[in-house]
Amino acid sequence: MNWLLEPLGFEFMQQALIIGLLVSIPAATMSCLLVLKGWSLMGDAVSHAVLPGIVIAFLLGIPAAIGAFVAGLFCAIATGFLDQNSRLKEDTVMGVVFSGMFALGLILFNYVHTNLHLDEILFGNILGVSWQDVLETGTVTALVLTIFLIRSRDIMLFAFDPQQARIIGINTRFLHYLLLVMLSMVIVASMKAVGIILVIAVLIAPGAIAFLLTDRFDQMLLIAILIALFCTFTGVILSYHLNSATAPTIVVLMSLAFIVAFLFAPKRGVLKQKSKNIAIDMK
Amino acid sequence: MEKPSDMENPLADTTGAYALPESGEVVIDSPAERAKIRILQRDSGEHSGYSGISAENVTVIYRNGNIGLENANFEVPVASICALVGVNGSGKSTLFKALMGFEHLSQGSVTILGQAAGKSLAKNHVAYVPQNEEVDWNFPVLVEDVVMMGRYGHMGFLRRPSRTDHQKVDEALRRVNMQHYRARQIGELSGGQKKRVFLARAIAQEACAILLDEPFTGVDVQSEDAIIELLRELRATGHVILVSTHNLGSVPQFCDQVILINRTVLDYGETESVFTRENLQRAFGGSLRLHVLGGDELHEDDDARRVTVITDDERPVVIYDEDHNSKSKQDPGKASEPGGSNLP
Ligand SMILES: Nc1ncnc2c1ncn2[C@@H]1O[C@H](COP(=O)(O)OP(=O)(O)OP(=O)(O)O)[C@@H](O)[C@H]1O
Ligand SMILES: [Mg+2]
């Protein structure tokens, strides 16, 4: 008990825990979409592409979050445009666009002397957040979660069978861009907590784990959120005791959870399938 | 609001009412609906001439300049099953996309039960049964969830299923005889069962027009027969069904209408008059395997009649040249041995 309570005596630990939990909810929600729609690379692309936006926002004197958001969205939309107007496959185009933007961001960063720290952007600084950050993240969480839950049936259908979605009158183009906007918002909101390199982990792992554990979309959402909350909570506390970096600790826990699910999932786990094969062999 | 279209087309809004005529479990909510059913029963028996699906001068040009379809004209009446037959790349999928309102028409128009394709009222009128390759079979949805997706268009903003929605799903599942599989994840089904689930979704959607893109690929003969039986039932209740298929042998077996397509519509109409050897050769050109076996090659007596075996890639169509009036007949269950065993 004391093991749990001791770290929470510090305000920075309270803030870290709260922002971590707040981020993990929309990230886990979006992760289900990313996993099912095959948008994992999109998450990676958008998160890298925010870098030049942050520097340019600094130059213009506007909040970094806005610059990051615009740059991330630009990457997603530019990818879609190039994909539709060239013979290249989407992942190829995406690779070119986001690595280019990331490189541009690195160059800009060295030219412009900002008060920003590159490793804070890349790896987050969950222990150095303010209540203001907590509030902003909370707003994003509420917004993304609300939209997702209200439209969850349509989002599921959009991921599963976009043609049927169109047939019954869902504006799939609008939904597509809405989801990209939500993805960009979540990435920007997670920047403080996990940084743009590791954000992809929290944007994929919970959905991937939940995917192994269930056959229904609603349950997948719920499981993903619960796993993300659990890993974040444990990760924050554990990192205090181990004196380890917080965000990587959370991500490592998620990876462990994935391995456990991969091996032991009741229906799709590797061990379960092995034992089934053995049972068949014995017959 | 929807009155005017009802007047000219009683089928337009009553699709739900005429589901399940044989099971006696139809839920009839109002006298008005009962009246509609009666109109329907009267009309569907005589094919009434209501246009189910029609295309006028349809041209679809893809972004890259490819012409998918040019000046296509056809008309399929309600209460019919229509085969869409043509070689690879002849524009079958393009035509489907046009009917669903997905592809911009460079020219012409498509109507479904009197309404322009893609318009909001027409939306729930079309159901689409996708090809197996188009579906992500690992997706975490159960059979009943998939069927429920057919109901989304009838639900409100939040897509909360009502009691009626659940009833329609149950009904549709029973109709395709998949009620015992409702809690299965969709990947855990056989090819034929998968097809039936998507057919159930189309039924639950209460669409008047059902489009099936090559429903028989990867489906064994037994499931094929079950699906065909189901399509016949749907026809009997006034649906118009468009099936693209390379399975030429089964076309005369269950399709009363045929559209022959090769970048444009070559011919359309009743199967007997359109599905002829001459027309098929026109539609398929060299890409069709055609064997004409004269009487003298088959047997010793001097019966001069011929057997014509035409095959695209699957089940062959066999045309017996009886008394030289070239009547097209269906060959029962010869799918496994194309050609050989059809001989007398
Ligand atoms: N997205 C596209 N962009 C450009 N051209 C296309 C596109 N889809 C189809 N086409 C072209 O339009 C023509 C008709 O194609 P379609 O897919 O409708 O044929 P199909 O009859 O469905 O063939 P199959 O029997 O192989 O399914 C083809 O020549 C094809 O090359
Ligand atoms: Mg096709």
Q: Nearest chain A Cα to B201, which residue?
A: A164
What integer is the mean pLDDT of B49-63?
Answer: 85
Average pLDDT of adjacent 10-residue blocks, chain A of 283 residues: 84 92 96 94 91 91 90 90 83 91 92 81 88 92 95 95 90 92 92 89 95 94 96 94 92 95 84 71 62
Rounded Cα distance, B245 and B108, in Å: 25
Chain A: which residues have CB within 8 Å of chain B?
A: 36, 150, 153-154, 156-157, 159-161, 163-164, 166-170, 211, 214-217, 219-220
Residue in chain B lying closest to A36 (CA): B139
| pLDDT at B325 exceeding the cut of 90 | no
When pLDDT is cut at 50, 70 and 90, the band that residue B290 belongs to is: low
Structure tokens at A230: 């659990």
- Pairing type for strands B257-261 and B317-320 reads unpaired
**Parallel, antiparallel or unpaired: strands B289-293 and B307-311:** antiparallel
Question: Identity (one letter) of the amino acid at B245?
Answer: T
Cβ atoms of B253 and B225 within 8 Å: the answer is no
Bigger pLDDT: B101 or A238?
A: A238
Question: B262 CB under 6 A from ligand 1?
Answer: no
Q: Residue B221: its pLDDT value, please? A: 82
SS3 B86: coil
**Closest residue on chain B to A166 (Cα):** B102
pLDDT higher than 80, residue B49: no
Give SS3 for B129.
strand
Banded model confidence at residue B3, pLDDT cuts 50, 70, 90 = very low
Residue A17: give the domain boundaries.
2-282
E strand or H helix at A161: none
pLDDT, residue B81, reads 94
Token output for A149: 């839950």
Instruction: Report how far residue A92's alpha carbon sits from residue A82's, in angstroms, rounded to the nearest whole number.
Output: 10
User: What's the CA angle centered on B80, arms B75 and B83, to 5 degrees?
Assistant: 70
Q: State the Cα–Cα distance between residues B17 and A104, nearest whole angstrom.
A: 62
Instruction: Report ipTM for this prediction.
Output: 0.89
B16 has a pLDDT exceeding 60: no
**Of A178-187, B2-11, B178-187, B254-263, which gets the smallest average pLDDT?**
B2-11
pLDDT of amino acid B4: 41
DSSP letters for A228-256: HHHHHHHHHHHHHHHT--HHHHHHHHHHH
Report whether pLDDT(B10) > 90: no
Kindly report each contact of residues B292-301 with a partner whose C-beta sits within 8 Å and lies 24 or more positions away, as own/partner: B293/B343, B298/B343, B298/B344, B299/B344
How many C-beta atoms surround the C-beta of residue A134 within 10 A? 17
Query: Cβ(B64) to ligand 1 under 6 A?
Result: yes
d(CA A98, CA A82): 13
* Cα dihedral B164, B168, B171, B175 in deg (nearest 10): 170
The lowest-confidence range among A270-274, B150-154, B320-324 is B320-324
Q: What is the tally of structural domains in chain A? A: 1
Q: Angle CA(B321)–CA(B324)–CA(B330) in degrees, nearest 5?
A: 30
CATH code for the domain of A41: 1.10.3470.10
Beta pairing class for B51-61 and B107-112: antiparallel
pLDDT at B23 over 50: no
DSSP state, residue B20 = -
Using DSSP bridges, classify how beta strands B240-244 and B80-85 pair: parallel, antiparallel or unpaired.
parallel
Residue B22 predicted with pLDDT over 70: no
Q: What pLDDT sits at residue B133?
A: 83
pLDDT confidence of B303, banded at 50, 70, 90? low
Q: How is residue B337 written in tokens?
A: 């041995």
CB–CB contact B123 A167 (8 Å): yes
In contact, B284 and B87? CB cutoff 8 Å: yes
Query: pLDDT grade, residue B78 (50/70/90)?
Result: confident
pLDDT at B38 over 80: no
CA distance B237 to B281: 34
CB contact under 8 A, A160 and B128: no
Q: Which residues contact B247 (CB under 8 A, 6 or more apart)?
A: B216, B224, B312, B314, B315
A6/B305: higher pLDDT: A6
Chain A CB within 8 Å of residue B201 CB: yes
CA dihedral sign of residues B146, B148, B154, B159: negative
Q: Contact A272/A266 with Cβ under 8 angstroms?
A: yes
Tokens, residue A146: 């609300």
CA torsion, ordered B133, B139, B145, B149, to nearest 10 deg: -60
B265 contacts B69 by C-beta, under 8 angstroms: no
Alpha-carbon span B51 to B32, nearest angstrom = 23
Least confident among A5-19, B1-15, B41-55, B249-263: B1-15
pLDDT at B337 (0 to 100): 37
In chain B, % of residues over pLDDT 70: 68
B324 CB-contact burial (10 Å; exposed 0-12 / middle 13-18 / buried 19+): exposed
For residue B67, which atom of ligand 1 is closest to its CA? Answer: 12
The answer to whether B100 contacts chain A (CB < 8 Å) is: yes
Who wins on pLDDT, B342 or B241? Answer: B241
Distances (CA, A) of B304 to A170, B295, B310, B322: 61, 5, 19, 10
**Residue B307 pLDDT greater than 70, yes or no:** no
Q: Which long-range contacts (CB under 8 A, 24 or more apart) does A7-14 make?
A: A7/A236, A7/A237, A7/A240, A7/A241, A12/A127, A12/A128, A12/A129, A13/A127, A13/A236, A13/A240
Instruction: Supply the pTM of this predicted model.
Output: 0.81
pLDDT at B304: 60
Judge whether B212 is closer than 8 Å to chain A, CB to CB.
Answer: no
Taking CB atoms and an 8 Å cutoff, what residues of chain B touch A36? Answer: 136, 139-140
B121, with CB counted inside 10 A (0-12, 13-18, 19+), is middle
Report the pLDDT value the prediction gives residue B2, as an integer from 0 to 100.
38
* pLDDT bracket for residue B313 (50, 70, 90): low
Q: Cα–Cα distance between B10 and B257 in angstroms, integer?
A: 22
- What is the predicted pLDDT for the residue at B217? 82
Q: Which residues of A touch B139 (CB under 8 A)?
A: 36, 159-160, 217
Q: Beta-carbon neighbour count of residue A23 at 10 Å?
A: 29
Please give the pLDDT value at position B261. Answer: 92
Tell me the pLDDT band of B315, cut-offs 50, 70 and 90: low
Query: What is the greatest pairwise CA distance in chain A?
Result: 72
For residue A187, the model assigns a pLDDT of 92
CB–CB of A168 and B153 under 8 A?
yes
pLDDT band at residue B39 under the 50/70/90 scheme: very low
- Pick from B102, B140, B153: CB nearest A169: B153
Confidence (pLDDT) at B41: 46
More confident position, A278 or B192: B192
Helices (H) and strands (E) counted in chain A, each on its own, are 13, 0
